[in-house]
Amino acid sequence: MPVIEIDPEIAADIAKFESMPAAYQAGDMEDDVFRVFRLNNGIYGQRQGGTSQMVRVKAPYGKLTAEQLVDSLHRAVGKAFECEDLNLNPAGDRPPAQFLNMGKPSRSWQMTALSNERDRPALALPIAQALIDVLTNYGWRQSRQNPSTTRDDGASPMQTLILANGVLGTRILRLSDDSAFTELALQDLPVEKLVEEAFFRILSRPPTAVETSAMAALLRPTYASRKVAGAQTGYAALKSDNRVSWSNHLSAEATLIRMDEEKKMRLGAEPTKRLKTEFRVLFEDALWAMLNSPEFVLLP
């Protein structure tokens, strides 16, 4: 991909954003002058106490890119990518000129096209495909034949549908033993504090009084009895079966192995046994509503 040149006006904004606070800290600028700059750049004091400040970040079109969205989904819930090696020949019996191993991605920018357009089930990479399905619907391009910095990332019904009902959404929202929200729900917190922490993790802001009341009312009936005494952690990451490779991908057994992996991927990780189902389902519903709100994808 060609190097993206920064627009001169944006470059000037960046330079000003760096120089103005420095001048103010050095005592070379009056309070009233800096206040205008501060407010115009969306830097506000918070009223809930403490010394934290809120900064409204400028972003093109006010929308997360495909890579930012997928990375943010994983970051919000504390889950790793756990993607397969981007390699259709894990047996390693072909020369690199025929099969490159693109490694195991941990961030969206490391993803690449799967090049499995021939509909060969045994060559599927279920976890990688779930990631790419979301990326492509939000403007990421698999085809690199015509490198371009301009993306078709306009809003579409498929973006909403794949985030709300897709395989990746199921995996992200499941309160499994690798979810940060599972650990959060197991802490001895008032239900209102749980709501507040959930909003901070997903939307980076405290909930309003109305939001706190609504979510707390949803969770409160099952909250006191949510924990399962004596239950142990039992998370097992979904791993690709490396017996399936290019040399045997046409066999029926290889196809069945990959189809079973895809089925497990669609079902999502096993829910934690440390939280009762009644509470877990309600909390997952609340998290689903936040992650699928326009506020998660659109930046202020």
The pLDDT, as a whole number, for residue 1 is 39
Whole-angstrom CA distances from 216 to 42, 133, 186, 280, 284 are 31, 34, 16, 14, 13
Please, which residues have CB within 8 angstroms of residue 24's CB and are 6 or more apart in sequence? Answer: 34
Whether 129 and 204 map to the same domain: the answer is yes
**Range of the structural domain that residue 241 is part of:** 60-297
Whether 51 and 170 map to the same domain: the answer is no
SS3 73: helix
Out of 41, 58, 75, a domain closes at 58
Whether 48 and 75 map to the same domain: the answer is no
The pLDDT, as a whole number, for residue 65 is 85
Q: Which helix (H) or strand (E) holds 35?
A: helix 31-40
What gap in Å lies between CA 194 and CA 202, rounded to an integer?
12
Number of domains in the chain: 2
Of the pLDDT bands very low, low, confident and very high (cuts 50, 70, 90), residue 209 is: very high
Q: CB of 134 within 8 A of CB of 83? A: no
Of 85, 170, 103, nearest to 133 by C-alpha is 170
Q: What is the dihedral of CA 289, 290, 292, 296, to 10 degrees?
A: 170
Whether 143 and 242 map to the same domain: the answer is yes
* DSSP E strands, the chain: 43-45, 53-55
Of 285, 253, 269, 272, nearest to 126 by C-alpha is 269
227-239: average pLDDT: 84
Of the pLDDT bands very low, low, confident and very high (cuts 50, 70, 90), residue 3 is: very low
What gap in Å lies between CA 54 and CA 46, rounded to an integer?
7
Out of 58, 85, 100, a domain closes at 58
What gap in Å lies between CA 271 and CA 59, rounded to an integer?
36
Whether 200 and 289 map to the same domain: the answer is yes
For 104-148, the pLDDT digits (tens) are 899 998 988 876 655 678 888 888 889 999 998 988 887 655 556
SS3 82: coil
DSSP 55: E
Q: Return the half-sphere exposure (C-beta side, CA atoms, 13 A cut-off) of residue 138.
A: 22
DSSP 80: -
What gap in Å lies between CA 274 and CA 175, rounded to an integer?
10
Q: Which residues of 187-215 are buried (b: 16+ CB within 10 A; e: fewer)?
A: eeeebeebbbbbbebbbeebbeeebbeeb
Whether 223 and 291 map to the same domain: the answer is yes
What gap in Å lies between CA 172 and CA 75, rounded to an integer?
10
Whether 72 and 10 map to the same domain: the answer is no
Query: For 23-27, 60-64, 132-136, 260-264, which range has the lowest pLDDT when averaged over its residues?
Result: 60-64
Whether 48 and 70 map to the same domain: the answer is no
Whether 41 and 66 map to the same domain: the answer is no
Out of 18, 39, 58, a domain closes at 58
Whether 286 and 148 map to the same domain: the answer is yes
For 7-55, the pLDDT digits (tens) are 777 778 778 888 988 898 899 989 888 888 877 776 666 555 555 566 6
Whether 187 and 231 map to the same domain: the answer is yes
Residue 53, φ and ψ in degrees, nearest 5: -125, 160
Whether 54 and 73 map to the same domain: the answer is no
